[in-house]
Structure 1
Amino acid sequence: MNSLITDSAVQEYIREHLNADVHTIAMAKSPFPGITGQELANQIAARKKSSKKLPSWFNTAGIYYPPLLSIEQCSSEVTAAYKAQLCNGTTLIDLTGGFGVDSHYFSRVNQSVTHCELNKELSAIASRNAPLLGQHNINFISGDGMKLIRNTSQHFDTVYIDPARRSNSGKVFMLRDCTPDVVENLDLLLNSTNRLLIKTAPLLDISAGLKELRHVSAIHIVSVRNECKELIWVLEKGFGGRTQIVSTTLNGTQKQFSFLMGDEVRAAISGTPAPGDYLYEPDVALLKSGAFNLIAERYQLSKFHHQTQLYTANQIDESFPGRIFRIDEVLSAGVVKKEKDLRGSVIVRNYPDKAAVLVEKYHIKSSDTQFMIFTQSASAGKIILKSTIIQHY
């Protein structure tokens, strides 16, 4: 960590050049002795990346930023605040602390937080920024959190860990493919707490994870603006009941859809002879849950087609986590060919052509409020729905 970067003149330069070309700055001679152009470029790029993801950091004067990759990999404030709701008790240890975003929010609901980070520089940066952000109850330890757990007799009310994948190759991975290996060290972790929170990437298969872990009381599937951000596995020592699945959308307002494992198997599903007045498109957090029939049952919807995760109804339910469209007209492919001046953003679900192909084929002009939804229904086969969006993600 280069302490010269905290100088007021340097900080002013970073603020003034927030929209500058960082590649040019990195290659140019630095106007400040002891600070390289690359260091200035990184501070600018990392601060700019934080403007939406970490607004508290962005709006706090004097924040020292780590390499840009650390900002890209850390939790957003929105998801960190959500995880803080899942804590129990007053003491927590964050075994993979990183830039300290999660620990910041954990410190708001715990009397004492321990932040462990293997990377000495990242640990120093997080510790240095903490007082600027009003954090005074976080103990920063530069070292291996797993070693600390192994060598301490202290009991924590909550243990939090964010294991990293050892390899980014392939889309499917197991918890055993991550480090620290929470599967191998599960007993060790649960010896130090009654409540373990594990954050994983959304690519992790839920069924596979349940086979690897024990005592899973809940799995939280968290999305922001229809992008699945993370899975939070809640383990409670001694828990042996059915796991609760909680799909949460964080889009300004929080919406949730929850159920117990096994409920989907028992859910009834109704088909529909024709599209109703409205179309419902589930958020990715709902789709990740796999409860396709339960979604229909819970919100009193009908599915267009058994292979299409689109639903229809004659009423609006604003509690639905996802988009809702008013269906203005139902067209066949033959009719669409004859239409002139077609407008709308194209959505394709269970339809043989891709969106880009359909836009070119039918000369469809873009629109922010109008949509052309190409899909299939069980009764009419391939259909196109001219629709107007009335609820966004």
Structure 2
Amino acid sequence: MQHPNNTRIDAGLLGKIVLARFLELPLRAVDRLVTQVESAAGFTALRPWVTVGRLEGAQVVQDVVDPHQTQASPILGEVRDMKNLYPGTGAGRGLMFLYHRDSYAREYRFDEEGVNHMMSKPDFPAELAGVLRKLRLINTRNRLTHALMRAVLASQAAYLRSGQPLALLPLTQAEISARLRSESNLVVVADPGRISRLVRVLSIALPNGETMPLGGLFPKPRQVYCHFVDHVIKREKTWMLQGVLWEPLTDEAIAAILEREYGIRLLRRTVANIRHDLAIPDCRNRGQRMNYLAATEGFSALVPLTPQALRTAVPAQPGVYEIRAALGSSVAETKGGWLEKSAPPGPHSIVYIGSSGDLRKRLGDHLRGNSDNVLLYNHLADGAARVRFRLVSEGWRWAERDLYRVFCATFGTPPLCNRMSP
């Protein structure tokens, strides 16, 4: 009588276990296995009944650029735009996946009648049976991988073309599995478990050259929402610099923007949780971090405050500006001309903050002493002052007021030549 623990495993179940483990093999191991199998004596004996080919529609990098590769790549392949792959041919605008190794796109075609006849013989070698099992395992893995890549490229085409996180769509492995199982031409069972095992071990190269785990193309909805929340908060700084926004967005305001602009409905507490996951402070703490350097992001390079520079570098358009005196100014000289890169200011180098509907005219008035600010004119008299500016099409007075407020909050005192708050 057999002990219950010594019962034999059903052959079908054993085959599923072997396939599951094979799907989890890293690419290098698969490439080595293909090489070993095809160089074995048993494979040579099977050649009358086995044809070596490539998966239908599969392309390998060597077909295009023929690079010399001495070892298996840890990357399955790369995504390319067909218009870049075949310029001038009028090819469609779809995406194409190019495998990095022939072994990843290998397919063995069997003369099933001949193979079955050979295996029915009593003296059929066990070695050949082992080779056949390995060839079928390679077929199953490669066919499933190829079908998976085609489905993923179709689902995430917008993201793969642009590389923009906001174009990434929520996608589950169960959805891809259902799509693949609905395809009548796929002879492999594409259940979610098999898809999951493949996704865990595969990486691909995006059109921009970056490498990405294949699992990154299966984001959960919350992961997608993280990209949108992060995007809105990054835009927040731009809006504040432009004077469109006077204080950081609350979680309620972020949720409202997401629904209005992107059709994403999130609760306030969901936005707060996502912000916490992204290590982004709340609106009150973000407001405290809005210092002067951040507020002047997007300003022009420093320009000498001279008539020539005003004519050539300062437009006659509305905007906000900052004047620095030579005393204590920290700038980097440019050898080839008079444009200079800005440097972190000291509190005593910035002597005036202002705005105007015509920057060139207003700065010219300062330079000629026609702005009724004697103290400022005295700082400009030696010709060493410099100015930088940012164009603001609307609300430039509000932009000046906000910049002045941030300056005072950062340095604890207003600019030397600003006689009153704007």
Q: TM-score under structure 1 normalisation?
A: 0.25
Q: Which has the higher helix share?
A: 2
Structure exhibiting the larger radius of gyration computed from Cα positions? 2
The structure whose RCO (Cα within 8 Å, separation 6+) is larger is 2
Q: Which has the higher strand share?
A: 1
